Amino acid sequence: MSKIVATRRAVLNAGLGLTVALAASGVISPAAAREKLVINSYGGAYEQIHRKLVIEPFSKKYDVDVQVITAYSADALAQLRAQKAAPQFDVIHFSGGQEVVAAREGLIAPIKPDELTTAKELYPFAIEGLSRGEGPVHAVAAIGLLYNKEKAKKPEKWADLWNAEYKDHIVLTDLSNSYGLLGFLMINKVKGGDITKADPGFDAVKTLLDSAVVVATSPEMQQNFAQNDAWIAPYAQDYAYTLRKAGLPIEFVQGAEGTPAVYLTANLVANRPNQDLAKKFIDFSLSAEVQAGWAQELRYSPTNKATKLDETVSKEVIYGPDAVAGLVRFDPVAVDANRAALVERWKKLIAK
């Protein structure tokens, strides 16, 4: 009996000694210091899905805590700037092109393609920014034409907006909305302008104003399709899905001239201690399974070539090399520099 006790004590002591030795050598860490990542998400339905697809599975797989702070892109950039001396985030997601500014200001750290296991599976546009110090694109919200399939003929191209058959049934979006801004930049491009030369776009919009409604928010867009007999609107693909879920007969068309898109990026914050874990998180959000989930749940288009989608979903997102080739990106630096001037000119144009 006493022998057994003595043996047990010896084992315990040995175990304790081993634990101390391991802890000292850094192989294992005490339970209290479980690793933690701080990231931002955009709130609402997006954040719910974000948790379900990325945050919770990642947290389980690597046994780490992931703390989510709800902050939209502009807020997140402002916070990063304010925290420059002592950053509080590990991974920052942007959707409005802020990664370009953040990289320029040294707020985010560059990632090398070989640090991402998924890099080879991504479309070139998704890792194009890595060389400039930006994070990879983990999802895309495409902008095209939403139309009511029960009331109107299917549009083929952006220029169809000016067809007489849609007169009095057009909805345009205010430039204070980023989908609206991209829609306008595309109209401007189609009419022969560019970011520094916006006259063609404004002239073209002017001819639509008498027979169009201008809205500022997504719910107003829904209201116009539901109540006000709207037939066509330049807007985002994921919102077309939201409208369909609300029971409206709305379809999305990629304009033949190209598809501008909101690029959602995941960025590595500079000067943080656990960058390896943060890189794993970013890598995880680029995986084909996660991206298939985004397409399934919210109709964001995947940036990973290996993403497998079923037929219904694949028709409702930008899917496959041919579709991706149609994506248009406006230089975020130039857009940022011209935004205030564009918005003011737009307000003057549309005011009655």
Partner 1 sequence: MSSSTDNGVVGTPTLPPQGVSTRVLGGIAEDATLSAPGVFLIVLAFILPIGQMLLLSIENAGGGLTSEHFTRFLGDSYYLGIVWRTLRLSLLITVIAAAIGFPLAYVMAHVGPRLRLWLIVLVILPLMTSVVVRTFGWMVLLGRGGLVPFTLWKLGFVNRNFTLMQTESAIVIGMVQVLLPFMTLSVLGVVMKIDRRLEEAARTMGASFLATLRTVVLPLAMPGIVAGSLLVFTLSVSSFITPSLLGGVRLPVVAGSIYEAATKTLEWNFAAAQSVILLIGVFLVLLPYLKLTGRRHG
Binding site for partner 1 (CB under 8 A): 74, 174, 176, 213-216, 220, 223, 227-229, 339-340, 343-344, 347-348, 350-352
Phi, psi torsion values for 130, nearest 5 degrees? -55, -40
CB of 244 to partner 1, least distance (A): 22
Residue with Cβ nearer partner 1 (2 or 227): 227
CB of 51 to partner 1, least distance (A): 27
CB of 69 to partner 1, least distance (A): 20
Alpha-carbon distance of 71 to 77, in angstroms, equals: 9
Kind of pairing between the strands at 137-148 and 232-236: antiparallel
Residue with Cβ nearer partner 1 (1 or 340): 340
Alpha-carbon distance of 219 to 13, in angstroms, equals: 66
Alpha-carbon distance of 134 to 46, in angstroms, equals: 22
Is residue 215 a contact partner of residue 174, using CB atoms and an 8 Å limit? Answer: yes
Alpha-carbon distance of 335 to 98, in angstroms, equals: 11
Q: Three-state DSSP class for 68?
A: strand
AA identity, residue 170: I
Q: How far apart are the first and last CA of the chain?
A: 96
CA 91 vs CA 32, 42, 61: distances in Å: 22, 13, 18
Phi, psi torsion values for 65, nearest 5 degrees? -90, 135
Residue with Cβ nearer partner 1 (67 or 223): 223
CB of 210 to partner 1, least distance (A): 11
Residue with Cβ nearer partner 1 (52 or 104): 104
CB of 229 to partner 1, least distance (A): 7
- The angle formed by the CA atoms of residues 62, 67 and 69, to the nearest 5 degrees, is 145
CB of 15 to partner 1, least distance (A): 59
The DSSP result for 301-322, as a single string, is: BP-BTT----HHHHHTS--SHH
User: Which single residue is written with the structure tokens 């068309």?
Assistant: 253
CB of 110 to partner 1, least distance (A): 27
Residue with Cβ nearer partner 1 (20 or 74): 74
CB of 350 to partner 1, least distance (A): 5
Alpha-carbon distance of 287 to 101, in angstroms, equals: 26
Alpha-carbon distance of 126 to 198, in angstroms, equals: 28
CA 177 vs CA 137, 214, 221, 234, 335: distances in Å: 21, 11, 12, 12, 13
Residue ranges of the alpha helices (H) in 198-331?
199-209, 218-226, 237-245, 275-285, 288-298, 311-315, 321-325
CB of 345 to partner 1, least distance (A): 10
CB of 243 to partner 1, least distance (A): 17
